[in-house]
Amino acid sequence: MNHHTSGVSEIGHIKSYYFGVATIAGLPRVFVHEMLTFDDGTPAGVVVGYDEDNVFALMFGKVDRAQPIFRSNQLYSIPISDKLVGRVIGVQGQPLDGKTAVTANRIPVFAQAPGIIDRDPVTRPLITGIKIIDTMLPIGRGQRELIIGDRKIGKTTIAMDTVIHQGVESSPIKCIYVVCGKTAQEAEEVVRILEEHDALYYTTIVAATANDSLAAQYLAPFVGTAIGEFYRQQGWDALVVYDDLFRHAQTYRDISLLLNRAPGRESYPNDVFSLHAGLLERAGQMSVKNGGGSLTALPIMETQEGDISAFVPTNLISITDGQIYLDRGLFQKRFLPAINVGLSVSRIGGQAQPPILKLVTGGLRLALAQERELQKLTQLETEISKDAVGKIKRGELILELIKQEKHKTLTWQEQVVLFRAVEEGYFDDLEKDQWAKLEDLLLQLMRTKYKELILKIEGEKLTESISKDIEDTIAQFKREFVKNDDE
């Protein structure tokens, strides 16, 4: 559309332009997050503030200061439809995968969070396929769970494995993976791994790397959330990963400093809390009256030297419904995933955990706590009771079994059988070097000869009949293991 022929009276002129932030005069009636356009209607940028004389906008690329800027009278929006599944896009909806652009109705990326009346409690599980999370830190559909830890210790791997695992779950989830502020190489690696594991069949990737404009890096999490909300409005379940919000906070700090806003703690603007709160509050489980869909949020937060008391980490911990804390010490000991259960919590996921899994794994945290205390006791006393030795061995067994290789996930039904085998003592007479071998055989047989058992467990009620079937099957696993070991 040509604005000169459409009767538009407001014409903006760029007074200054620095690092993607423009100061524009001549647009007195704009509102925050309004999309600005060039003369031909193509998006030029988005408004982030104004004063009595000027408008401050984030521009999408280098601009000619002589070019006039026009209002769109609309919130910043992108084309959103279910055709975005399997695509890699930028914050304007433009394709980054070499395919044709998606044409659809434009939907604003900034929206108010749903009210309490429009929501329902979180009661349905989101299975990650990661044993230590599903058993001790369960996540529900509609929850916001922070993944926090130092650089390069497995945060992105946990998020990607959660997305990958949705491909084998019987109740499907649409996934959105937001890459924000990472290097182009890291973004390409995310795309490659998700593609290798066929996760792009149900996933959209929104990418804004460190090479992109401040506007792109600022908008990326909001674009991902808008796509997730679109799926939720259709009554579907969606999961959005923000990788990561530490870089997003840094981007917002850079923007604020360029706008000469007063810096607060650690030079961050005072409204960075409300920025992320407004973003993450948009996740949730909607009521049946409002379609019954859900949007689950997994924000990632990079810490510096394990400091979770810094400004942005404490903000995100207070906003979310729990955190998964990755510990560098555990990572260096090759305990993977390096999740510190003592410093991690899931505040609302427990009520969404499958009842059978909750029943079978309810004692794991206690067993690990007892093992830690008794290990300290062994350092003080030379002799300990037989009962204490048994508890130490049980704790060591659980620690060994919750270790997991990346990209190798388990269904919750498989986890039920595995930890029921622990509960019934089928690992107790084995040496430590045999534990992993029995687990491997158990999983292999469940995925081949004993698929019917998995289907029975799916009913989510532990009847006497199912309990007996599980025990008989585990006993058969043990017999086959002993037979194979003897051979």
Which positions are annotated as active-site residues?
Answer: 347
Q: Which of 259, 241, 31 is nearest to 157 (CA)?
A: 241
Token code pair at residue 150: 């130092």
Token code pair at residue 91: 């914050």
With beta carbons less than 8 A apart as the criterion, state whether 426 and 478 touch: yes
Q: Which of 150, 237, 157, 240 is nearest to 194 (CA)?
A: 157
Dist. CA 133–CA 336, nearest whole Å: 12
Dist. CA 346–CA 284, nearest whole Å: 15
CA distances from 199 to 47, 167, 207 (A): 35, 6, 16
With beta carbons less than 8 A apart as the criterion, state whether 251 and 181 touch: yes
Name the residue with tokens 């000469």: 260
CA distances from 470 to 215, 437, 442, 476 (A): 54, 19, 12, 10
Q: Which of 267, 160, 248 is nearest to 210 (CA)?
A: 248
Amino acid at 14: I
Q: Which of 421, 423, 402 is nearest to 480 (CA)?
A: 421
Token code pair at residue 450: 């004993």
CA dihedral 154, 407, 354, 451 (to 10 degrees): -160
If one counts every other C-beta atom within 10 angstroms of the C-beta of residue 99, the result is 11
| CB-based burial, 404-441: b 16+ in 10 Å, e otherwise | beeeebbbbbbbbbbbbbbbeebbeebeeeebeebbeb
Dist. CA 54–CA 69, nearest whole Å: 13
With beta carbons less than 8 A apart as the criterion, state whether 293 and 238 touch: yes
CA distances from 118 to 287, 289, 348 (A): 6, 8, 18
Token code pair at residue 436: 């992993």
With beta carbons less than 8 A apart as the criterion, state whether 163 and 203 touch: yes
CA 28, chain centre distance (Å): 40
Question: Helix or strand or coil: residue 424?
Answer: coil
Dist. CA 296–CA 70, nearest whole Å: 36
With beta carbons less than 8 A apart as the criterion, state whether 56 and 39 touch: no
β-pairing verdict for 203-208 and 88-89: parallel
